[in-house]
Structure 1
Amino acid sequence: MTPLRRTCKEAAALLVAREDRELPLADRLALRMHLFACRACPVFARQLRIMRNAMSQWRHYSDEA
């Protein structure tokens, strides 16, 4: 496997990991290339973003609103 080529499973792991930390340059490039070429992984990335935003709103929710 080439250094910048990732499987969907590896790309999903990188998507989750980037929620907690900054990825190294090689992983960021590999992820970007994979997301460009794959049909399913961008959907998963969008779902992660929606969940992150929902959790952020839930954390800041108050009954006073």
Structure 2
Amino acid sequence: MIGALDLLVDEALEYANRLLRAAVPTELHVYAGASHGIGLAPGRVAASLDQELKAALTQAFTAPLPGS
């Protein structure tokens, strides 16, 4: 998750692409109009980010391990 206005957005996109090419399950969410630290400011975007993070962590820790 990164803001589209974050100075590191290009690096985040490249990193996500490298993970995908290496067959690592990867999701990248780019928030339009948001900059670095989007989860720190109160508001709708931060609330959405918080819900997405919680859902991703829940899925990661409850999904069966590969090969099990």
Report the TM-score when normalising by structure 1.
Answer: 0.37
Greater Cα radius of gyration, structure 1 or 2: 1
Report the TM-score when normalising by structure 2.
Answer: 0.36
Q: Whose helix proportion is higher, 1 or 2?
A: 1
Q: Whose strand proportion is higher, 1 or 2?
A: 2
